[in-house]
Amino acid sequence: MSNSIPRLPLPPNEPVLSYAPGSPERAALKETLAEMVANPVEIPLWINGEEVRTGNVVEVTAPHDHSLVLAKVHTGGAKETQAAIEAALAARAEWAALPWQERAAVFRRCSELLAGPWRQRLNASTMLGQSKNAFQAEIDAACELIDFWRFNCYYAEQLYRDQPPRSPNSMWNRSELRALEGFVFCVSPFNFTSIAANLPTAPALMGNVCVWKPSLTQMRSAYELVQLFEAAGIPKGVINMVVDGGDPRPIGDTALAHPQLAALHFTGSTATFQHLNREIGGNIERYKSYPRIVGETGGKDFVVVHPSADVPAVITALTRGAFEYQGQKCSAASRAYVPESMWAEVKAGLERDLSSIRMGSPLDFRNFVNAVIDERAFSKIEGYIQQAKDSADAEVILGGECDRSTGWFIQPTVIQAKTPDFLTMREEIFGPVLTIYVYPDAEWEQTLKLVDQTSPYALTGAVFSTCRYAVEEASRALVNAAGNFYVNDKPTGAVVGQQPFGGARASGTNDKAGSWLNLIRWVSPRSIKETFAPPTDYRYPFLAAE
């Protein structure tokens, strides 16, 4: 039992290593990559701290090289999901009763292991399995995840420390943050290793137990994560991993139908999140408690440029915001609004940038752009590009080539839309495709309305302007259009502890990963009032005889 209230210092953000030629981290990463390429792994499910091999095996290959087998993954269904739920529920009482600082110590150990001996293992597995270059892997799998664990512990302390401000002399008022009653079902995407890890570990930090379903295409780094969890001392049953072989329904249906479902923690497509919401609604009478639903979904993220903007900054923001990690970030710049007066210069700058970008395997550190995640994504993105090529309302002005011969490679592509509601201005593509609408300079106010109304999403957005009046006008007009709003910066790259991340409308519940706002969703408060001298007579003083 703890007889202290320990304080955690405000952590710094984890420094981003450069991986410059000749640096020790570059040499270590290349060595780890070579080892993983040469040694594909067999990945089991992870239930109650034990490896589970079902025999239903799916082969996972590198997105940038069809011939490179990374892993053979055992997949599961309803039976394995039920076992994971039972393991989680069996572990719940002891884990939830553990003092918060003991749980925090586990995740602080996770952060230190990742910052040290596990850094290049997680980076290399992310590069190979998710086709990220070294820098994109470093800011994701290493730095953001380390920050999630460190800052989540810091925010947890603030939440537990917060108590009612008033306790009269005769009583003591206290607040207790209980873990949710049941288990948390965590469904994570392929594109960020840090998100995949944060989805189960944020609820677990607050005393919850989890059933985690990562994406099959992210399994190479997920395998490293479960080994890291074990090395850090996460007890058996607290986090259980199941994965499907292509049909998510047996896992999802089993988890969502269970009466002990306490919450859903989700990152992925808007359509999937809406489906899961409907399933929970249809099962609402089954549940012991109303499940918490936390989701971060799609985006159609914008950059709106004022005629006063600094053109070189706009060009760089569009290039990096749209094409880093092949546009497979939910925050990626996907549509831009550029004034006529600067369009020729912006177009020339994009042409210059894109002509210098190298595309290929992340094993070649000279490549800025790598492959999209799989055939399904490739075909979808290729279809959008073809529709633009075939339409009279749009023109592919840069890129547009797609090559599936050795990997899922799509050239960074810029489309100029002749109408502001062309489908690639409205629909999420999730690939290296940027659509630009050129507007008359005098129509700034009307353009802000277009930005707000064209897309159902509201995740990230940016305004570029050197005029403070224009910045303020855009901020007001787009107040509901983006949960993360950037001034003179690209709409990607939120940092834990600096810009809590999340959006509203069709982009999710805006519960802000990387802040106390997310952690508060994983607890159920209990108010405790203790009276030291309780009354012993029911009569009020005014009833006494005169």
Neighbours of 89 (CB within 10 A): 16
Active-site annotation, residues: 296, 330
State both tokens at 421: 């509601």
Query: Rounded to an integer, what distance in angstroms lies between the CA atom of residue 157 and that of residue 314?
Result: 40
C-alpha dihedral (486, 492, 493, 498), degrees to nearest 10: 30
Provide φ and ψ at 420, rounded to 5°.
-70, -10
State both tokens at 302: 């914008």
For the chain, helix (H) and strand (E) counts, in that order, are 17, 23
Query: Rounded to an integer, what distance in angstroms lies between the CA atom of residue 320 and that of residue 303?
Result: 12
Query: Rounded to an integer, what distance in angstroms lies between the CA atom of residue 208 and that of residue 35?
Result: 36
C-alpha dihedral (49, 51, 54, 57), degrees to nearest 10: 120
CA-based nearest residue to 216, from 49, 87, 72: 72
Question: Is residue 229 within 8 Å of 239, Cβ to Cβ?
Answer: yes
State both tokens at 368: 């800025």
CA-based nearest residue to 317, from 110, 464, 196, 106: 464
Per-residue DSSP letters for 174-224? EEEEEEPSSEEEEE--SS-HHHHHHHHHHHHHTT--EEEE--GGGHHHHHH
Q: Rounded to whole angstroms, what are the CA distances from 371 to 121, 209, 232, 359, 378?
A: 20, 35, 33, 8, 9
State both tokens at 133: 């270059």
List helix spans (H) across 393-494: 423-426, 444-454, 468-477
Query: Rounded to an integer, what distance in angstroms lies between the CA atom of residue 302 and that of residue 322?
Result: 10
CA-based nearest residue to 117, from 17, 43, 32, 38: 32
